Amino acid sequence: MKRVVILMAMLLALAGCASNRLSDPEKTAIIEKFITTEHLEARNTISAFDLDSWTSLSDQYLILRTSPFRSYLVKLTMRCNDINYSPALLVYSRIPNTLSAGFDSVFTPDNHRFKCNISRIYPLSKAQNKSLISAVNPKGKDKSLQKAQEEAEDSKE
């Protein structure tokens, strides 16, 4: 009887660990298909760039917002694992108020030595922004800079 109870408890614990979340390769495939089907065109530079909020889609893609109506899908040159879990994001830009593919990068406050270079920048409409987030992560939420800064300060204390 003890063995049956222990076995049932273990099975319940394992079932609780199972999730329906997509893996990063699956997310990347969805994002790249979205880029193709929506005919998104990459830009080299965004002028008047002032980061308002951001959403991590995978370890290689994220959405940066400058306003509620202006968002950009950003592809990083390589995988950046800490972006998925960081409450804050910092942008390194060589030219103030400008974001350039190939020259600028993003990084987390916890790992400021490791910068993730930006490979491509795709402008998104508001509808494309919502559609892409819901396709990759239905529970995804924007991380506003103010909230992220408050969380970073709280974690330091």
Tell me: the pLDDT tens digits for 61-79?
Answer: 999 998 878 999 999 998 8
- Tell me, yes or no, whether 129 lies in a domain: yes
- Tell me, yes or no, whether 15 lies in a domain: no
- Tell me, yes or no, whether 105 lies in a domain: yes
CA neighbours closer than 13 Å in the CB half-sphere of residue 79: 7
Number of domains in the chain: 1
Instruction: Compute the distance between CA of residue 131 and CA of residue 108 in angstroms, rounded to an integer.
Output: 26
- Tell me, yes or no, whether 6 lies in a domain: no
Radius of gyration (C-alpha) of the chain in whole angstroms? 19
- Tell me, yes or no, whether 5 lies in a domain: no
Name the nearest CA neighbour of 81 among 36, 116, 30, 38.
Answer: 116
- pLDDT in the model for residue 25: 83
The domain in which residue 80 lies consists of 23-156
Token pair recorded at residue 69: 């109506």
Tell me: the pLDDT tens digits for 14-63?
Answer: 444 545 578 878 888 999 999 999 999 999 999 888 888 898 898 899 99
- pLDDT in the model for residue 67: 84
Check residue 48 and give left, alpha or beta (phi > 0: left; psi -120 to 50: alpha): left
- Tell me, yes or no, whether 1 lies in a domain: no
